[in-house]
Structure 1
């Protein structure tokens, strides 16, 4: 399930302008949502494109190109909700992705236990052998976040993971990545800045 939105972003970002890419992505996601098709290796449900004002995930980081692309998956039975936000994707520019995966009862659909489990869930990171440096942790507005710097191909990235405090039987994880343009360094201080730039808005009423 988590690979569907990544596939569409990769398919349309390679050869489309920003406005055309967003239009194509919106149309494809609307068709996917209307079909109510079962997600790969996951429950039946639907995707929806989110306007920025309705999205819960933010990344207040200078240098990210263009607007974020927000989407949300909701399973047909309402047990699973997964929101993704992605920035960039063009060569020579920074790129980032954040995913919030929730389930009631848990565990969530995307529930990585470390950096090696984060990489396969993002198309932009797949097929790249990571070379990890030191791990770290930093305090974001919503709680402590574990992070790992890694060389992925010609880019230096930071991968991050946070488990939200459980609420009764509900469980949630927040995970993702940020990559500098190929050939650009990414220091430990810069990795902390990335983590501290992640924002998680409260759940809207009625959702």
Structure 2
């Protein structure tokens, strides 16, 4: 079996947030980055607007695997928003014109998390993504615009792995211990369902993935 091209991303920051069930005043975060969140990150690097159909094409052409090198600690940030221009679930103005109304918002983040992402696709597309990640059109963020990476996201383009699963297990890590890895499911796999945004209409849908726990020994100097 020949090797395949693998784009490697490292997602590390003070805060990250990857919504799976977010609705109105309750903004959750999954324990691992979502595929739609990673595609959105790449879209920012390329300068593709959120509603652009090119994001659907990226989602279709790329396969990803995720490793939680450092899971992070969940944190809930509580907001009180007061304004004359708050809208309700139907998009209508809350309260009467000219009157102030209040909205309570709960937003969940992961503190000090570190994820490795392995991405595969055709060579031309991956080289285009490398160029965009090195010179992004728009600022890159980790799930929400307030979540800024603490290190460069791009970590290399490799041709030494034969599959996404091999790559996500063998890519060196600065951490040690048990880690969750997640890969996109193929026919015959034992799967779990993850919630994710369906690219194009921003509706949350289920996506089949496989998960397992591995143990890695940290490699001194990697990604420091």
Q: Same fold (TM over 0.5)?
A: no
In the superposition, the TM-score normalised over structure 1's length comes to: 0.29
In the superposition, the TM-score normalised over structure 2's length comes to: 0.28
Q: Which structure has the greater CA radius of gyration?
A: 2
More helix by share: 1
Q: Which structure's relative contact order is higher, taking Cα pairs within 8 Å and 6+ residues apart?
A: 2
